[in-house]
């Protein structure tokens, strides 16, 4: 692998040119998901026109990540998961695909937890009708896809805590699959504590089955998926910059340090735990 030296928060120069940003989306059978992700990438390109930005999916949609990496050849690329926490896809699927590719790749952190992610969650709740000054009986359920990986659940809990600090009300994480509590269970818990107005914050990057399911279970307002919110584009660039050792300050005006960037070689696999993860 060719070593890189940070030169600016715009990009890091390498012999193969500016490292490409490859946004790694999960993929969905819902056609709205693909159109949303493409629109988000257009926002990223607008923020940084000189940066090569590509899309690769883990499954269900084209282009698949291996095809995107093959098309890039030996050009260096930074893979930024369009995922909101650690889990099997971040720890195994994406590294395995990267290791099998011909190019030099680095894996950035997933998007959460991070203050910019909380910016987007807060904005979507406000758009849905969340009051500027919530009453003591207000609360939020943070709905996410779910994972059996304890680190994934820890990341969701961390995001919930950051959102609670932002809103000044309790925020309980809930899951559409693979983990508990479910959204209805979290709602019942909050109502048992005296919270009559319980909103659901959709912690999903794009429309899809889980987002639709959780929205249908909301007893009051529910926010839209994060989608093309400007903070999401800034956060993608921030993760890219962090992976290259740049500070990313221009693209993450409210964000702090936070990634577990990995430099991957063919046949290499990152550690499955990151005890010193900086969020």
Q: Residue 124: how many CB atoms within 10 A of its CB?
A: 20
Q: What is the model's pLDDT at position 103?
A: 87
Lowest mean pLDDT among 20-34, 88-102, 184-198, 264-278: 264-278
Cβ partners under 8 Å of residue 207, min gap 6: 28, 30, 32, 33, 36, 225, 227
pLDDT band at 94 (very low <50, low <70, confident <90, very high): very high
Question: Percent of the chain at pLDDT above 90?
Answer: 80
Q: What is the model's pLDDT at position 3?
A: 30
**Cβ pair 210, 177 in contact under 8 A:** yes
**Cβ pair 145, 117 in contact under 8 A:** no
Report the Cα 83 to chain-centroid distance in Å: 4
Q: How far is it, in rounded angstroms, from Cα 279 to Cα 272?
A: 17
**Does 111 or 266 have the greater pLDDT score?**
111
The answer to whether the pTM exceeds 0.75 is yes
- Pick the catalytic residue from 26, 89, 197, 229: 26
**Cβ pair 74, 43 in contact under 8 A:** no
Residue 136 has phi, psi (to 5 degrees) of -60, -20
| Token pair of 100 as six digits | 């099998």
Does residue 279 register a pLDDT over 60?
A: no
pLDDT band at 246 (very low <50, low <70, confident <90, very high): low
Whole-angstrom CA distances from 133 to 57, 168, 275 are: 40, 9, 37
**Cβ pair 19, 12 in contact under 8 A:** yes
Does residue 165 register a pLDDT over 60?
A: yes
Is 122 catalytic? The answer is: no
Does residue 250 register a pLDDT over 50?
A: no
Question: Percent of the chain at pLDDT above 70?
Answer: 82
What is the Cβ-side half-sphere exposure of residue 22, based on CA atoms within 13 angstroms? Answer: 29
Lowest mean pLDDT among 15-19, 107-111, 263-267: 263-267
């Amino acid at each position: 692998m060719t070593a890189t030296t940070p030169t600016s928060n715009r990009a890091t120069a390498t012999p193969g040119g500016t490292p490409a940003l490859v946004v790694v989306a999960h993929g969905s059978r819902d056609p709205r998901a693909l159109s949303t992700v493409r629109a988000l990438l257009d926002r990223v390109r607008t923020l940084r026109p000189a940066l090569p930005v590509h899309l690769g999916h883990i499954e269900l949609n084209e282009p698949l990540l291996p095809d995107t990496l093959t098309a890039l050849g030996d050009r260096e690329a930074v893979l930024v998961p369009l995922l909101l926490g650690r889990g099997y896809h971040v720890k195994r699927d994406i590294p395995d695909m990267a290791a099998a590719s011909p190019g030099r790749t680095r894996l950035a952190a997933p998007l959460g937890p991070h203050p910019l992610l909380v910016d987007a969650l807060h904005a979507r709740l406000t758009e849905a009708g969340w009051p500027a000054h919530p009453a003591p009986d207000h609360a939020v359920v943070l709905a996410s896809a779910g994972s059996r990986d304890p680190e994934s659940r820890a990341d969701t809990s961390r995001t919930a805590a950051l959102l609670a600090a932002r809103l000044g009300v309790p925020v309980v994480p809930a899951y559409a699959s693979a983990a508990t509590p479910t959204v209805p269970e979290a709602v019942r818990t909050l109502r048992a504590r005296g919270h009559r107005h319980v909103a659901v914050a959709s912690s999903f990057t794009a429309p899809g089955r889980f987002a639709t399911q959780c929205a249908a279970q909301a007893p009051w307002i529910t926010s839209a998926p994060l989608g093309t919110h400007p903070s999401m584009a800034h956060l993608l660039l921030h993760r890219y910059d962090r992976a290259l050792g740049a500070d990313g300050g221009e693209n993450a005006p409210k964000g702090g340090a936070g990634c577990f960037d990995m430099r991957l070689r063919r046949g290499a696999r990152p550690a499955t735990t990151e005890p010193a993860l900086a969020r």
